[in-house]
Amino acid sequence: MAEGALRVALLRGVNVGGHRKVPMADLRALCVELGFGDVRSHVQSGNLVFTATGARADVEARLEAGIEARFGFPVDVMVVDAPDWRRLIDQNPLPEAASEAPRHYYVGVLKAPPAPGAAERLEAKGQAGEVVRAVGGVLYLHFPLGAGRSKLGNVDAKVVGSPGTLRNWNTVLALQALIDAVP
């Protein structure tokens, strides 16, 4: 393993509907150029596992600057240290929803903790039994009819108080498997 902390990085709003294209091979190459080690990606929606030295916020800033320079547009990047990723899984407040409908159960990873009452404000905008919980600076969202049909859509930075991005439970677990596979 390369030196540095093992981390997960999530890119917000890339490779969606043919817009803001960031090929994963190019993103992995950029990470290597930035000095990150053990770089691995998962699917095409901007999910990375790597090792990197420096504070989490510095790693986010380096990756955001590198992406804008390489691809020509800004992208919010959320970086989570591997132990915090495990904690995000372990503290899941709705394990039954995650187990029964992992494609309809999401984790919202934010740059900063959500504003007080953000989960409640989001849930009030929901429909059809949608549930939003905030635990440990992370949002957990259950969309019984699917995220595509939800009025909540992406994490609204104005409501939440911070930029963020959503990943379904299957992706959350797949990223943990990538973490576990790093020697």
What confidence tens digit (pLDDT) does each residue in 103-148 have? 999 999 999 999 999 999 999 988 889 999 999 999 999 999 888 8
Please say if the pLDDT value at position 2 is more than 70.
no
Measure CA of the first residue to CA of the last residue in the chain; give whole Å.
6
pLDDT at site 65: 98
Q: What are 140's strand-pairing partners?
A: 107, 133
Over residues 14-33, the mean pLDDT reads: 89
- Both tokens assigned to 32: 């290597």
- Cα–Cα distance measured from residue 96 to residue 94, given in angstroms and rounded to the nearest whole number: 6
Greatest mean pLDDT among 12-16, 40-44, 145-149, 152-156: 40-44
DSSP states along 28-71: HHHHHHTT-EEEEEETTTTEEEEEE-S-HHHHHHHHHHHHHHHH
DSSP states along 146-161: -GGG-SS-S--HHHHS
Q: Residue ranges of the domains in the chain?
A: 5-84, 87-173
CATH code given to domain 5-84: 3.30.70.1280
Whole-number Cα distances in Å, 41 to 90, 116, 169, 174? 22, 33, 16, 10
Q: What is the pTM of this model?
A: 0.94
- Both tokens assigned to 17: 């509907």
Over residues 46-76, the pLDDT tens digits come to 999 999 999 999 999 999 999 999 999 999 9
pLDDT class of 178 with cuts at 50, 70, 90 = very high
Instruction: Please name which of 161, 165, 43 lies closest in space to residue 106, comparing C-alpha atoms.
Output: 165
